[in-house]
Amino acid sequence: MAVTAVVGLQWGDEAKGKIVDLLTDRYEIVVRYLGGNNAGHTVMFGGQTYKLSLLPAGILRPNVTSVIANGVVINPAALLKEIQSIVDQGVEIGDLLISDRAHVIFPYHLVEEAVLEKSRGDQAIGTTMRGIGTCYRDKIGRTHAIRVGDLYRPEFFRERLRDIVAQKNTLIQAFDPGAEVLDAAKIYDEYSRLADQIAHRVTDTTAFLHKALKQGKNMLFEGAQGSLLDIDHGTFPFVTSSNSSGCGIHPGSGVPERAIDRMIGVVKAYTTRVGGGACPTELMDETGQHIRDEGHEYGTVTGRPRRCGWFDAVATGYGARISGVDCIAVMLLDVLSKLDELKICEAYEIDGERTTDFPSHILDLEKARPVYRTLPGWKKDITGVRKLEDFPKEARAYMDAIAELVERPVDIVSIGPDREQTVFA
Ligand code: IMO
Ligand code: MG
């Protein structure tokens, strides 16, 4: 029996989807435990590209049971649309279970997020505008939350929604008197219809997972976002609204971390970030643009150009420690193949002091000046490499430096989007 977790160690978009997809044939169950349709996971095989957002990558394998666990926030219309798009691509959907404890995203969450983000001006978080943060806010606040299980208790659901929508209208109108007034009855009808369409998949996934563990089933936890976007440990307030480091697995699924025997941290060979918040190694020059072009660094969810920069071992090492990963997978190494020299940030200088600790306050992170280690580039196409020994020595030295500074072994290297373009150490 194997219970494995795959988590991002940076600011998301580490190509976790590829690693999860590669591993899924060895697992019977794949679990998504946090976030919602703010995530964008791209999986490529057999000449097809699959874009997943809420669905676990296990959905692409017919024998895998995919689980959307309690920690996820679900927009049911977006979920059904995503299922349809995968079916349209010819995928035979296997079992998909949805937690009755998961929270539901409603139209007012999107409207509320839009007015709140707008009100912050240049201090906006730069969210994906999917109502993720506003839904989690209601979850934590309790009084305005609706869970999947509530959708199947019609009287309870109708009354709750009526009260919540009335208060949301008051709040939204206060921020933006021009905003559309939401209609509780209309939302009730729409969500009741959507709930019917997913009803056969809704269950107590926590109980399901624990039975599976007892039966010795192989289970894979698929992270979304990244450790530095974690609500507690990330670059607050420029984070997502859930525990997106490894520490979110337990609250997000009900499976304790001690049940997990291998935790894989996924990192890009460089740094990217979308949305606001400091990013010490960001490159505003042509090297940054080169990385963006070579890596096709444009958001899969929002299409925004990603901010690109050198690999930041201070930030990533912190992510690795917070998440408690055993090893790392280095992704998109091939994107760096044309550069003459490469830099890795091995420390920060803050107010003249050198440190390898990741600052807890955003204002300190904004002041952090990266201290770089410079390494020679390999200037060769590495997309055809299939064995560790066949990498140019400069590429191996680059990976060794990452392993040394992040203090975790590099177990997997990816040099292209295809399943075959992967080297296991
Ligand atoms: P995957 O799973 C990259 C970022 C947003 C924004 C901040 C808050 O593809 O790695 P939110 O909508 O979550 O409230 O936005 O978090 N963000 C991501 N960035 N990849 C993601 O997911 C992200 N999910 C959220 O850009 O800065
Ligand atoms: Mg993304």
pLDDT digits (tens, 9 = 90+) for 49-58: 999 999 999 8
Pocket test for ligand 1, best of 53, 132, 236, 240 (most atoms within 8 A of CB): 240
Ligand 1 pocket residue status of 56, Cβ below 6 Å: no
- Cα separation, 203 vs 298, in Å, equals 36
Residue minimizing CA distance to atom 15 of ligand 1:
127
User: Which ligand has the minimum distance to the alpha carbon of residue 128?
Assistant: 1
pLDDT at 303 over 90: no
Give 61's Cβ-side CA count (13 Å radius).
Answer: 19
User: Which ligand has the minimum distance to the alpha carbon of residue 225?
Assistant: 1
pLDDT at 333: 98
Predicted confidence band at 243 (pLDDT cuts at 50, 70, 90)? very high
Q: Which amino acid is at 230?
A: D
Helix (H) or strand (E) holding 164: helix 154-175
Give 32's Cβ-side CA count (13 Å radius).
Answer: 32
Residue 302 CA, closest ligand 1 atom number = 26
- Cα separation, 293 vs 422, in Å, equals 21
pLDDT at 44: 84
Residue 226 CA, closest ligand 1 atom number = 10
- Torsions phi, psi for 175 (to 5 deg): -75, -40
Predicted confidence band at 392 (pLDDT cuts at 50, 70, 90)? very high
Between the CA of residue 38 and those of 68, 129, 139, 227, what are the distances in Å?
A: 14, 8, 17, 15
C-alpha 361 to ligand 2 mean position (Å)? 24
pLDDT at 184 over 90: yes
| Residues contacting 360, CB < 8 A, separation 6+ | none
| Residues contacting 264, CB < 8 A, separation 6+ | 4, 5, 6, 7, 19, 325, 326, 327, 328, 329, 411, 412
pLDDT at 240 over 90: yes
354 and 310 in contact (C-beta within 8 Å)?
Answer: no
Ligand 1 pocket residue status of 39, Cβ below 6 Å: yes
pLDDT per residue over 15-28, tens digit each? 999 999 999 989 99
DSSP H helices, 62-101, are 76-88
- Torsions phi, psi for 167 (to 5 deg): -70, -35
Ligand 1 pocket residue status of 12, Cβ below 6 Å: yes
Query: Given the DSSP bridges, would you call strands 422-424 and 410-414 parallel, antiparallel or unpaired?
Result: antiparallel
Our answer to whether residue 361 is catalytic in this structure is no
pLDDT per residue over 206-229, tens digit each? 999 999 999 999 999 999 999 999
Pocket test for ligand 1, best of 7, 14, 38, 68 (most atoms within 8 A of CB): 38
Ligand 1 pocket residue status of 235, Cβ below 6 Å: no
pLDDT per residue over 89-138, tens digit each? 999 888 999 999 999 999 999 999 999 999 888 889 999 999 999 999 99
Percent of the chain with pLDDT over 70: 100
Please return the burial class of 211, using the count of CB atoms within 10 Å of its CB with bins 0-12, 13-18 and 19+. exposed
Q: Which amino acid is at 43?
A: V
pLDDT at 231 over 90: yes
pLDDT at 359 over 90: yes
- Cα separation, 266 vs 33, in Å, equals 17
Cβ–Cβ contacts within 10 Å for residue 108, how many?
Answer: 24
Nearest to 246 by CA among 232, 237, 236: 232
Q: Exposure string (b/e) for 330-350, b if CB count within 10 Å is 16 or more?
A: bbbbbbbbebeebbbbbbbeb
Ligand 1 pocket residue status of 201, Cβ below 6 Å: no
pLDDT at 292 over 90: yes
- Cα separation, 33 vs 63, in Å, equals 20
* 202 three-state secondary structure: strand
Options 21, 41, 230, 233, the catalytic residue: 41
C-alpha 301 to ligand 1 mean position (Å)? 9
pTM over 0.85: yes
pLDDT at 45: 80
Predicted confidence band at 302 (pLDDT cuts at 50, 70, 90)? confident
* 301 three-state secondary structure: coil
Q: What is the mean pLDDT of residues 294-310?
A: 92
C-alpha 308 to ligand 1 mean position (Å)? 15
pLDDT at 210: 98
pLDDT per residue over 28-85, tens digit each? 999 999 999 999 988 888 788 999 999 999 899 989 999 999 999 999 999 999 999 9
DSSP H helices, 243-385, are 249-253, 286-294, 313-323, 362-367
- Cα separation, 303 vs 64, in Å, equals 30
pLDDT at 94: 86
Our answer to whether residue 41 is catalytic in this structure is yes
- Cα separation, 369 vs 13, in Å, equals 24
Ligand 1 pocket residue status of 241, Cβ below 6 Å: yes
115 and 176 in contact (C-beta within 8 Å)?
Answer: yes
Ligand 1 pocket residue status of 72, Cβ below 6 Å: no
pLDDT at 301 over 90: no
Tell me what the pLDDT averaged over the chain comes to.
96
C-alpha 352 to ligand 1 mean position (Å)? 32
